A and B are shown apart, each in its own frame.
Chain A
């Protein structure tokens, strides 16, 4: 018996797809996902501007120990010179000098190091916390989800600055960079956790995960190798925005005297030191203030650019 007679009306057999030989030229043109995202990001001029600002600020911060010996201004914290206190901007001191005669540019450069460090490390810690909590809540659901998310809700109900001022005034009164990083991270992971949780809830019912699980993958493998890579867009975006937020938080704490303690200094410490000299030497306030403003602005512009570049819904124009 001919087996074909049971197959109903025959659809025309589609012609075999024409095999295109992968020439080196074509391989060059073929764009991986990374290239597509990079191209999309680079076409966004505002986001690129943010990126350039960040590269410049980071380089200045990294090179501070190289720049300063050349300029003849060594460690900004230990070289007070009252003879030249509160000078305006000049060639020798482009940002002027502070109330004890320290070169403001040197302090600005070293302050940039600390501000960026605190922003970045607190971001890493809070992304770790936020992704872990969000992943557990979103993946397992049920009572784990309820408990974790109620904790997030409760922490969000406390005004951030009140609890930060309080804890740094009591427990973290040492004013070390590490203490400050941990303190800021302890209260800045909440939104990341919410974002990651909703990504997990959206992803976990998809077929490819069922398939992977059928193949024997365990929970940890599913979370780390399959869901997180699919949720990397929102995580990267909130990480970028978090650095800016953390820099603002650090500067606010330091400005009110609850952050870093001298001789450690960040842009926030510079602002606290020079606040009362605003009318005498405005540059002392403008330099660290605009440093914070520009850096945070750059992180925000880059974060928005990444959001657009990473969004698969955005069609290429």
Chain B
């Protein structure tokens, strides 16, 4: 087990290392790269040389890569745009993104589990059909369109039905109310949660839809297996058979799908944040794109890729917990 983890970590580290080189070359070589941004045509030769010197752009590419990595890990890689360390820029935005991300992930997994299990137990029931229809629509909606529709629904059509604890209209944009600085801590938490409700629904819908479909079909597959019939024949109640025997085995492919969709989830978070005007990583990404802030962009990509690789590894380790037949060697 320990050896397996070490081997997987080494593989992941190697892959991320190669990926970082590829992304670095991609960003620094394509037309419109850092040179194009910094070398304003109006600059004279001396100013260009000074800028190139300052950002190390006059060095050979391999050296530039090494110095990028060095600065990144020493924490003094500076943003082109603000001049602040990139890690600080990300650290400022991260809490908002993590809140949205965690809420949506928990919400999506729980709802997908519930819907998937109910649809499988009551196959061809009204609940099953309703879940199927909602899932098909959820999968066919671009996340930004879901977000727009939710804003319209809560901000215009259902405006009078939903009000916050303070009696104001339901927030459809931003992360906090304008007069939030007068709130007590408890009100602040409530205010933040209320602002995150719609983004959470918008980000989760697609994943609730596809994950619940997936769980339903893998549940229906396991229910047909011989060992489930054996368990029933032993006299176990259908509840025990369903949850202890069928669900546990159906969860293995479910975990894989959730892990695979992690990258999609991160991309969706960026889109959701932008439509709802949340000041998270997504906003940093779009601001940096506008300013062609390459150090920030490259770091964000590498950060996202590291998280994806980490969660895939976590999913692989979860298999062992879910399925004792799998041994790591």
Contact = CB atoms under 8 A, between A and B. Distances in A.
Contact of A159 (B140, B270, B309): B270
Interface string A170-198: 11010000000000000000000000000
A256 interface: yes
B29 to A, nearest CB: 10
A252 B305 contact: no
Contact of B144 (A165, A166, A252, A282): A252
Interface in A264-294: 271, 275, 278-279, 282, 285, 289, 292-294
B145 A162 contact: no
Interface string B267-305: 110110010000000000110010010000100110011
Contact of A275 (B22, B148, B301): B148
Contacts of A279: 152, 155-156
Contacts of A167: 26, 30
A300 B15 contact: no
A271 B149 CA distance: 12
**Contact-residue size bin, chain B (C-beta under 8 Å from the other chain):** 35 or more
A165 to B, nearest CB: 6
B198 to A, nearest CB: 14
Q: Which 3 A-B pairs have the closest CB atoms?
A: A161-B267, A159-B267, A297-B140
A157 interface: yes
Contact of B304 (A150, A162, A255, A294): A162
Interface in B286-329: 286, 289, 292, 297, 300-301, 304-305, 308-309, 312
A271 B15 CA distance: 38
Interface in A148-162: 150, 153-154, 156-162
Nearest to B281: A162
B8 to A, nearest CB: 12
B137 A293 contact: yes
B54 to A, nearest CB: 21
B304 A159 contact: yes
Residue among A154, A166, A256, A300 with max Cβ neighbours from chain B (10 Å): A166
Contact of B142 (A160, A163, A252, A301): A252
A246 to B, nearest CB: 12
A158 B267 CA distance: 9
Contact of B152 (A248, A251, A282, A296): A282
Given A162-B301, A293-B137, A293-B141, A278 B274 contact: no
Interface string B20-35: 0011001100111100
Contacts of A282: 152
Interface residues of A, number: 38
Contacts, number: 120
Given A154-B18, A160-B263, A297-B137, A166 B142 contact: no
B148 A170 contact: no
16 contacts: A157-B16, A158-B305, A161-B267, A162-B270, A162-B300, A163-B301, A166-B289, A248-B140, A248-B142, A255-B142, A255-B144, A256-B144, A271-B144, A278-B152, A289-B148, A289-B149
A300 B264 contact: no
B19 A162 contact: no
Nearest to A165: B289
Contact of B274 (A158, A251, A256, A301): A256
A244 interface: yes
B30 A157 contact: no
B266 interface: yes
B88 interface: no
Nearest to B30: A171
A159 B263 contact: yes
A157 B144 contact: no
Interface string B232-257: 00000000000000000000000000
B271 A252 contact: yes
Contact of A160 (B26, B137, B264): B264
